[in-house]
Chain A
Amino acid sequence: MTARITNILIANRGEIAVRVLRAAHEMGIRATAVYSDADASARHVRLADHAVHLGGAAPADSYLHIARLIDAARASGCDAVHPGYGFLSESEEFAAAVTDAGLIWIGPPPDAIRAMGVKTEARSLMERAGVPLVPGFQSDTATDAEFVAAAERIGYPVMVKAAGGGGGKGIRIVRDPAELPEALAGARREAAHAFGDPRLFLERYIERGRHIEIQVFADSHGNTVHLFERECSAQRRHQKVIEESPSPMLTPETRAQMGAAAVEAARAVGYVNAGTVEFIVTPAGEFYFLEMNTRLQVEHPVTEGVTGLDLVKLQITTAQGHRLPFKQDAICQRGHTIEARLYAENPRLNFMPAPGTLIRFIAPYAPGVRVDSGVVSGDTITLHYDPMIAKIIVSDWTRTDAIRRLDRALCDTVILGTTTNREFLRALINHPAFLAGEVDTTFIDSHLAELIPPEHPDATTLDHALIAAALHERTLAPSSVTNGKAITPDPWARADHFRVGGE
Chain B
Amino acid sequence: MPTYSYVYNGETYSVALEALADGTYRAVIGERAYTLRAIPNENGGLTLAFDDGDRATVYASSVSGTRYTAVNGDPVTFTLPEAVKRSSHKAHAGDLTAPMPGQVRDVLVKAGDSVKKGQTLLLLEAMKMEIRIAAPADGEIQSVRVKTGDVVEMGQMLIGIG
Q: Does A251 contact B (CB under 8 A)?
A: no
Q: Does A466 contact B (CB under 8 A)?
A: yes
CA distance A130 to B79 in the complex (A): 61
> Would you call B46 and A492 a contact (CB within 8 A)?
yes
- The number of chain B residues with a CB under 8 A from chain A is 59
> Would you call B45 and A353 a contact (CB within 8 A)?
no
> Would you call B61 and A466 a contact (CB within 8 A)?
no
> Would you call B48 and A466 a contact (CB within 8 A)?
no
Within the complex, what minimum Cβ distance (angstroms) separates A52 from chain B?
A: 24
Q: Does B134 contact A (CB under 8 A)?
A: no
Q: Does B53 contact A (CB under 8 A)?
A: no
CA distance A486 to B60 in the complex (A): 24
> Would you call B15 and A467 a contact (CB within 8 A)?
yes
14 new A-B contacts at CB < 8 Å, known A194-B128, A383-B100, A467-B48: A353-B127, A362-B45, A384-B127, A386-B128, A414-B45, A416-B61, A416-B69, A467-B15, A467-B36, A469-B15, A472-B62, A472-B69, A474-B19, A488-B19
Given A383-B151, A416-B61, A467:B27 Cβ within 8 A: yes
For A465, give its contact among B40, B69, B151 (CB under 8 Å): B69
> Would you call A466 and B42 a contact (CB within 8 A)?
no
> Would you call B59 and A414 a contact (CB within 8 A)?
yes
A-B contacts, 10 listed (Cβ < 8 Å): A353-B101, A353-B102, A355-B127, A383-B126, A386-B128, A457-B71, A465-B78, A468-B71, A472-B62, A488-B20
Q: Does B38 contact A (CB under 8 A)?
A: yes
Looking at the complex, which of A266-274, A392-400, A427-435, A495-503 is the stretch in contact with chain B? A495-503
Interface residues of A in 387-436 (CB under 8 A from B): 387, 410-417, 419-420, 422-423
Q: Does A25 contact B (CB under 8 A)?
A: no
Residues on B with beta carbons closer than 8 Å to the beta carbon of A412:
73
Residues on A with beta carbons closer than 8 Å to the beta carbon of B20:
488
Majority SS at the chain B contact face: strand
Task: Give the most central of A360, A412, A489: most B CB within 10 Å.
Answer: A360
> Would you call B58 and A464 a contact (CB within 8 A)?
yes
For B69, give its contact among A353, A419, A455, A468 (CB under 8 Å): A468
> Would you call A383 and B46 a contact (CB within 8 A)?
no
CA distance A489 to B32 in the complex (A): 25
Given A360-B61, A462-B76, A352:B13 Cβ within 8 A: no
Residues on A with beta carbons closer than 8 Å to the beta carbon of B63:
357, 359, 417
